[in-house]
Amino acid sequence: TQLLEQSPQFLSIQEGENLTVYCNSSSVFSSLQWYRQEPGEGPVLLVTVVTGGEVKKLKRLTFQFGDARKDSSLHITAAQPGDTGLYLCAGDGRGGSEKLVFGKGTKLTVNP
Partner 1 sequence: DTGVSQNPRHKITKRGQNVTFRCDPISEHNRLYWYRQTLGQGPEFLTYFQNEAQLEKSRLLSDRFSAERPKGSFSTLEIQRTEQGDSAMYLCASSETGTGGYEQYFGPGTRLTVT
Which residues contribute to the site for partner 1 (CB under 8 A)?
A: 4, 30-31, 33, 35, 40-45, 48, 88, 90, 92-93, 97-105
**Residue positions counted in the chain:** 112
CB of 40 to partner 1, least distance (A): 7
Count how many Cα atoms sit within 13 Å of the Cα of residue 72 in the half-sphere of its side chain: 34
Element (H, E) at 76: strand 71-76
- Residue closer to partner 1 by CB (options 4, 61) is 4
Nearest approach in angstroms of CB 19 to partner 1 is 19
Contact 44, 35 (CB under 8 A): yes
Q: Are strands 10-14 and 106-111 parallel, antiparallel or unpaired?
A: parallel
Residue closer to partner 1 by CB (options 13, 46) is 46
Minimum CB–partner distance for residue 48 and partner 1 (Å): 6
